[in-house]
Amino acid sequence: MHPLKAVVVGCGRMGAFTSDKTRAGLPLGWLPLSHAEAIHTLLGVELVGVCDAQRSVAEAAAKVWGGQVFTDYRAMLLKLKPDIATIATRTDVRPEILKYVAANGVKAIHAEKPLCRSLSDALDVVETLRTHHVVFSYGTVRRYMDAYKQARAIVHSGDLGKLKQIILSFGEAQIMWTAPHLFDLLVFFSDNAPVKYVQASMNAEHVSKQNGRAEMIDDDPRIQFATIVFENGITGIITAAGGMKTELACEDGTITVGADGSYIETQKKSSTGYFLEPERIIPQPALSGTQSAIAGLRDAIVKGEISGMTMDELETEQRILFAVATSALKNGARIKLEDVDPELIITGKTGNLYA
């Protein structure tokens, strides 16, 4: 059987080139991280094209990973007719590209986060993906990593009782650059339970308003805290503490995914009521998160298997992101997902760069 044809749109850090500094600091399960490298290493998928607005960047990617060079993604789709497209551009142009790719014959898409700069754009993208039945995976790759999948399996086993809280300690996460990973973990571990309300605080600056209504945050604010309360009784808590740690607090014990997936530790309730029975697991992943995400797209096309993310999950995550921002703009008010202004724009600007 011929391999599936894959293309990469956007050949920067996530599209094609993981820096040496990043490589040196990542635990098992993270590499390969870039789209092109992950595709290059997978069986059953061939990288046939790379596209970047700067031809020299696309040429550099092709020299390392292979594929024909393009500066126009439309021309690339027309000529190569790929099965899979991955998108690693800046966020401002991503919605247009996503919708065009989804509507023009591609069977599966892997896209970087954040998805869009407004909820309105995000909902348009989700609807387009649904309409054209495109299989989708997202750059929030922890959900595809063995450590996090193992942790969820422990929750689902029921050995530690019902899940009560999801506590995420990733420092003061920027809402566009880092926090999409956190919103994804909340949806992943809660099994996309309906959200009751959101409360949050963040250091939003450069907020433009009209008639008392926030229209744009020209910034990528850091979240100081966020609480996401689900209808099923689970509470998600985003803290400002560091450690890149995910803690799942259950009725009869805890599960910790520590140091960004380096280990899993469980603690079980003892006869005294204290959690005194620690057990540590060191994951031995066969694939990285990016590899697993794209392999899931491959298997969905070839074998009809269910991929790792649904459109309902993707929509919930976008609604949570903008609800967190809305709550912070309203001094920590409780915000329901349906009460968010869909036209609020968050540019994700840090210095002279954008997410």
Q: What is the pLDDT of residue 277?
A: 85
CA angle 54, 97, 121 (to 5 degrees): 130
Residue 13 pLDDT greater than 90, yes or no: yes
CB neighbours of 167 closer than 8 A, spacing ≥ 6?
237, 239, 246, 247, 248, 249
Question: Which of these ranges, 210-224, 259-273, 299-313, has the smallest mean pLDDT?
Answer: 210-224
Average pLDDT on 179-203 reads: 99
pLDDT score for 328: 97
pLDDT at 201: 98
pLDDT of residue 212: 72
- The SS3 assignment for 199 reads strand
Between residues 134 and 204, which one has the greater pLDDT?
134
- Among 14-23, 212-221, 249-258, 260-269, the minimum mean pLDDT is found in 212-221
State whether residue 190 is helix, strand or coil.
coil
- pLDDT for 211 equals 74
pLDDT at 125 over 90: yes
Quick check: 66 pLDDT over 80? yes
- Burial readout 194-220 (b: 16 or more C-beta within 10 A, e: otherwise): ebbbbbbbbebeebeeeeeebebbebb
pLDDT at 214: 76
User: What is the CB neighbour count within 10 angstroms for residue 354?
Assistant: 16
pLDDT value at residue 307: 81
d(CA 71, CA 16): 15
| pTM reported for the whole predicted model | 0.97
Residue 73: predicted pLDDT: 99
- Give me the pLDDT at residue 1, please: 73
Distance, in Å, from the CA atom of 211 to the CA atom of 22, rounded to the nearest integer, reads 44
CATH second-level architecture of 148-284+315-354?
A: 2-Layer Sandwich (3.30)
Q: What are 1's two structure tokens? A: 């059987």
CATH T-level assignment (fold) for domain 4-142+289-309: Rossmann fold (3.40.50)
pLDDT at 72: 99
Question: Could you report the per-residue pLDDT of 155-179, keeping only the tens digit for each?
Answer: 999 999 999 999 999 999 999 999 9
Tens digit of each residue's pLDDT (9 = 90 or more) over 83-118? 999 999 999 999 999 999 999 999 999 999 999 999
List where CATH 3.40.50.720 sits in the chain.
Answer: 4-142+289-309
Token pair of 321 as six digits: 């992101």
The answer to whether 28 touches 105, Cβ cutoff 8 Å, is no
pLDDT digits (tens, 9 = 90+) for 280-338: 999 999 999 999 999 999 999 999 998 879 999 999 999 999 999 999 999 999 999 99
- Indicate where the chain has its CATH 3.30.360.10 domain(s): 148-284+315-354
Tell me the average pLDDT of the chain: 97
pLDDT of residue 252 exceeding 90, the answer is yes
Radius of gyration of the chain (CA): 20
Three state DSSP letters for 116-182: CCEHHHHHHHHHHHHHCCCEEEECCHHHHCHHHHHHHHHHHHCCCCCEEEEEEECCCCECCCCHHHH
Determine the pLDDT at residue 276: 85
Whole-number Cα distances in Å, 188 to 163, 296, 313, 316: 13, 16, 8, 11
